[in-house]
């Protein structure tokens, strides 16, 4: 993946998708935002190749790369996704941004309190993540000792590879100009700095139904849509990769939004 990311931030020749003009979209720095990967390692690689091939034919030569959270769970290879995304971010920390989603938070809760508040993670894709690390999956109905053993084994894997500390250091949001990237959403009535952290990762009940009035655009995943969209101050990029849909990246620049898909 490091070689692919080097090509993402270097010149390559290709035709570019035509941009759709979007009034009021003014990032200070252009960027690509990749939706919820959910362990879909192959689809992630496909999107990264398309980004690399797309860059020089577009206006995104200096673009950042933003992963929108939910790297883990449900899909087949969360371990490889985490390893490669971490390696890319460590290699280019100013150019690769990795946001935390609710599934990363649930996984961390499982490590911290596997028999309590973290137990539900096992029913939200945690078993697939355990399997990707070659750990025998357990259900929430397994005996306590088996669940604790699975949590200990996962913590050991994540710690040895440097993944756990890395995840704990990643942000919940990233902003460029009047464009804010979060995993899930915001309260339309509150500025980002006045939000409770859980809204960034879990969303807000009014986020998708009421527009903002402050000119802020919000790029988000979390809620699966059939097609990516850019309207009403929202750019949606979760198109259900783990459910057989495509993995989507939004290419965002001043006055333009485009989509690339696996």
- The CATH number linked to 95 is 3.60.21.10
For residue 50, which of 87, 106, 12 has the smallest C-alpha distance? 12
- In terms of C-beta density within 10 A (0-12 exposed, 13-18 middle, 19 or more buried), how is residue 35 classed? buried
For residues 177, 97, 166, 86, the Cα torsion angle rounded to the nearest 10 degrees is: 180
Indicate whether 57 pLDDT > 90.
no
Confirm whether 151 is domain-assigned. yes
Average pLDDT over residues 197-221: 95
Number of domains in the chain: 1
| 71-88 pLDDT tens trace | 999 999 999 999 999 999
Indicate whether 259 pLDDT > 60.
yes
- In terms of C-beta density within 10 A (0-12 exposed, 13-18 middle, 19 or more buried), how is residue 208 classed? middle
| 153-199 pLDDT tens trace | 999 999 999 999 999 999 999 999 999 999 999 999 999 999 888 89
CA 80 to mean position of chain CA atoms: 15
Confirm whether 100 is domain-assigned. yes
* Domain ranges, residue 245: 21-261
Indicate whether 2 pLDDT > 90.
no
Q: What is the pLDDT of residue 104?
A: 98
Indicate whether 240 pLDDT > 70.
yes
Q: What is the pLDDT of residue 1?
A: 55
Q: What is the pLDDT of residue 217?
A: 97
Cα–Cα distance measured from residue 254 to residue 179, given in angstroms and rounded to the nearest whole number? 10
Confirm whether 143 is domain-assigned. yes
Cα–Cα distance measured from residue 184 to residue 168, given in angstroms and rounded to the nearest whole number? 18
Confirm whether 10 is domain-assigned. no
Average pLDDT over residues 144-157: 98
Confirm whether 42 is domain-assigned. yes
Confirm whether 67 is domain-assigned. yes
Q: What is the pLDDT of residue 191?
A: 93
Each as own residue / partner, the long-range contacts of residues 93-97 (CB below 8 Å, 24 or more positions apart, any chain) are 94/64, 95/9, 95/64, 95/65, 96/5, 96/64, 96/65, 96/67, 97/31, 97/64, 97/65, 97/66, 97/67, 97/171, 97/174, 97/181
Confirm whether 8 is domain-assigned. no
Q: What is the pLDDT of residue 146?
A: 98
Confirm whether 15 is domain-assigned. no
Please tell me the pTM assigned to this model.
0.91
Instruction: Name the residue with higher pLDDT: 67 or 20.
Output: 67
Phi and psi at residue 68, to the nearest 5°: -90, 20
Indicate whether 16 pLDDT > 70.
no
| 23-36 pLDDT tens trace | 899 999 999 999 99
């Amino acid at each position: 993946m490091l070689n692919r990311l080097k090509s993402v931030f270097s010149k390559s020749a290709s035709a570019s998708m035509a941009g759709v003009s979007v009034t009021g979209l003014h990032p200070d720095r252009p960027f690509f935002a990749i939706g919820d990967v959910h362990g879909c390692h192959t689809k992630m690689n496909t999107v990264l190749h398309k980004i690399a091939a797309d860059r020089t034919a577009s206006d995104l030569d200096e673009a950042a790369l933003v992963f929108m959270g939910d790297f883990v769970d449900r899909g087949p290879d969360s371990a490889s996704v985490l390893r490669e995304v971490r390696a890319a971010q460590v290699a280019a920390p100013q150019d690769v941004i990795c946001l935390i989603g609710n599934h990363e938070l649930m996984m961390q809760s499982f490590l911290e309190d596997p028999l309590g508040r973290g137990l539900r993670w096992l029913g939200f894709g945690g078993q697939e993540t355990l399997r990707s690390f070659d750990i025998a999956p357990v259900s929430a109905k397994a005996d306590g000792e088996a669940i604790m053993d699975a949590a200990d084994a996962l913590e050991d894997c994540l710690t040895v590879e440097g993944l756990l500390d890395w995840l704990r250091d990643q942000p919940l949001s990233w902003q460029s100009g009047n464009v804010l990237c979060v995993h899930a959403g915001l309260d339309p009535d509150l500025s980002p700095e006045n939000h409770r952290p859980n809204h960034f990762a879990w969303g807000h009940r009014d986020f998708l139904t009421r527009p903002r009035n402050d000119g802020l655009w919000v790029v988000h995943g979390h809620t699966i849509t059939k097609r990516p969209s850019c309207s009403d101050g929202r750019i949606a990029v979760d198109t259900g990769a783990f459910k057989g849909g495509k993995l989507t990246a939004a290419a965002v620049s001043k006055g333009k939004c485009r989509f690339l898909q696996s």
